[in-house]
Amino acid sequence: MADEPVILEMRSITKEFPGVKALDRVSLTVRAGEIHSICGENGAGKSTLVKVLSGVYPYGTYQGEIIFQGHESRFKDIRSSETAGIVIIHQELALIPELSITENIFLGNEPRRFGVINWGEAKRRAIELLARVGLQDDPDTQVKHLGVGKQQLVEIAKALNKSVKLLILDEPTAALNEAESQHLLDLIRGLKGRGIASIMISHKLNEIEAISDAITIIRDGKSIETIDVTTDGVNEDRIIRGMVGRVLENRFPDRTPRIGDVFFEVRDWTVRHPLAAERLVVKNSSFTVRRGEVVGFAGLMGAGRTELAMSIFGRSYGTYVSGQVFKDGKEIQLRNVSEAIDNGIAYVSEDRKALGLNLLDDIKRSIVSAKLSKISRGDVVNDIEEHKAAEQYRKSLRIKAPTVNEGVNKLSGGNQQKVVLAKWMFTDPDLLILDEPTRGIDVGAKSEIYGIIRDLAAQGKGVIMISSELPELLGVSDRIYTIFEGAITNDIPIDRADPETLMKSMTSAKKKVTQP
């Protein structure tokens, strides 16, 4: 492979967002007809890199050079990169569900005769393209009737139509089942035979190991190394070491856990996808939480962590199939959010702007919004009580705002997150489920949030912490469950947990239970 000509060279790419260096002098070299994987933890900068490459972030918004097929390329948008032969297939598919396969393939690129779309020609070519990707469906089928796997193939057919030279696949198999994934990987190998290079981003290390010719590892926005698989060979452990190999900083508060008895238990929890009824997003999951314990949930994006948490929290996600919830030894029913709140469960969502806050509100209204009854007599809200309660949280959580009358949209991410935490602490929960509580906030605020978690556990509350950042999970948790493809794969006490062990259980279904 090493003697093939270089098709793409990204030289020293640096991309900054206000206050954050997302990419720091990242380099990437892809040879013709190569399958090149990019590996890294969530947030390492993989997606940013391919967005730079595909023109989502246009020339001028980053530093560095992109040399594609021997010329320096300055893409100003996705269209210009596509014209050059670089096509990106996103994790969220970009097809229009109401249009047919043919219409989708030729969208924005319709074959014309005398200015009118030549549908006959389009359909003929569509059938040809579908044959190349191995899809037997009628090209007139509406895309909404296809499963995710087949939609993926339509996307690739669309790319082939644009005479693609370099295909970028962002988590292509995340939503696919085993057989579909296999078909897709075979297809990518087949494209390689025709001289089409692919860049693949995937969390599934077994797939990467199986398919890649080269692997570039990115960590904290820097390219760490490129492994030439054809000459050096590779295994999952080798990749994991590259991905997590960093010194853990001591930014977690010291704490001596005082862990009590199991008070919260979920048994055999199974949930269906809200739209695709054949997909189970949570499968037979059982777990326990003790008083005063911080339980980590580790899993890669799309593993079903959020889905598990939200479905328990008043069935806010998907369709409930089976499972029981016990609190203090008694089975409880959590059919809607109010029942969950009344039973002392709180859920801090991973997307505080879309799901956690009404950004039109001020701090005090936000803090009391999940339990208005606490400061109301009858149905009338007591302004003074509200103000006092909010003021108390503003001080104790150190929310940086002049008054609690400040609009939450004016706060920084870290302070918004504190408001959301205050909102749920105000409901007097026994169990707090924190979904990515430190996502997108700066280091200082993160460590304050760890402090809040410690205090909550010290008060005897159970805390479930879902996080994509392994160092954070290792620093805060007393015990960690790993989740892979909707199922709990391991239950690891903190003294036996390390990044390698976690990553293994997060990327394969091999059940290796190490009971405490």
Name the site residues for another protein (rule: CB under 8 A). Answer: 15, 17-20, 22, 43, 47-48, 51, 57, 313-314, 316, 336-338, 340-341, 347, 349, 353-362, 365, 369-373, 376, 379-381, 383-384, 387-388, 391, 400-403, 405-407, 409-416, 423, 439-442
Q: Which two tokens stand for residue 37?
A: 């994987």
- CB 15 → another protein: shortest distance, Å? 8
Nearer residue to another protein within complex by CB, 126 or 411: 411
- CB 16 → another protein: shortest distance, Å? 8
- CB 25 → another protein: shortest distance, Å? 16
Q: Is the torsion defined by CA of 65, 70, 75, 81 positive or negative?
A: negative
- CB 177 → another protein: shortest distance, Å? 27
- CB 359 → another protein: shortest distance, Å? 5
Nearer residue to another protein within complex by CB, 198 or 415: 415
Q: Of how many residues is the chain composed?
A: 516
- CB 274 → another protein: shortest distance, Å? 11
- CB 355 → another protein: shortest distance, Å? 5
Measured distance CA(381)–CA(385) in Å, rounded: 8
Nearer residue to another protein within complex by CB, 423 or 504: 423
Across the strands, what pairs with 475? Answer: none
Nearer residue to another protein within complex by CB, 185 or 465: 465
- CB 229 → another protein: shortest distance, Å? 28
Across the strands, what pairs with 112? Answer: 117
Measured distance CA(69)–CA(73) in Å, rounded: 9
Contacting residues for 396 by C-beta, under 8 A, at least 6 apart = none
* CA 308 from centroid of its chain's CA atoms: 14
The answer to whether the beta carbons of residues 208 and 198 sit under 8 Å apart is: no
Nearer residue to another protein within complex by CB, 192 or 423: 423
Q: What DSSP state is assigned to residue 184?
A: H
Q: Phi first, then psi: give them for residue 166, nearest 5 degrees.
A: -135, 120
Burial class (CB in 10 A: 0-12, 13-18, 19+), 463: buried
- CB 351 → another protein: shortest distance, Å? 9
Burial 300-313 (b: 16+ CB within 10 A, else e): bebbbbbbbbbbbb
CA atoms within 13 A on the CB side of 315: 16
Nearer residue to another protein within complex by CB, 223 or 415: 415
Nearer residue to another protein within complex by CB, 411 or 497: 411
Measured distance CA(484)–CA(464) in Å, rounded: 17
- Beta-carbon neighbour count of residue 12 at 10 Å? 13
Measured distance CA(285)–CA(488) in Å, rounded: 6
- CB 392 → another protein: shortest distance, Å? 12
- CB 148 → another protein: shortest distance, Å? 21
Measured distance CA(487)–CA(284) in Å, rounded: 7
Per-residue CA distances from 486 to 46, 180, 440, 490 (Å): 24, 17, 25, 12
Nearer residue to another protein within complex by CB, 89 or 240: 89
Burial 320-344 (b: 16+ CB within 10 A, else e): beebebebeeeebebeebeebbebb
Nearer residue to another protein within complex by CB, 446 or 479: 446
Nearer residue to another protein within complex by CB, 189 or 398: 398
Q: Which two tokens stand for residue 20?
A: 């954050």
Nearer residue to another protein within complex by CB, 281 or 348: 348
Measured distance CA(388)–CA(408) in Å, rounded: 18
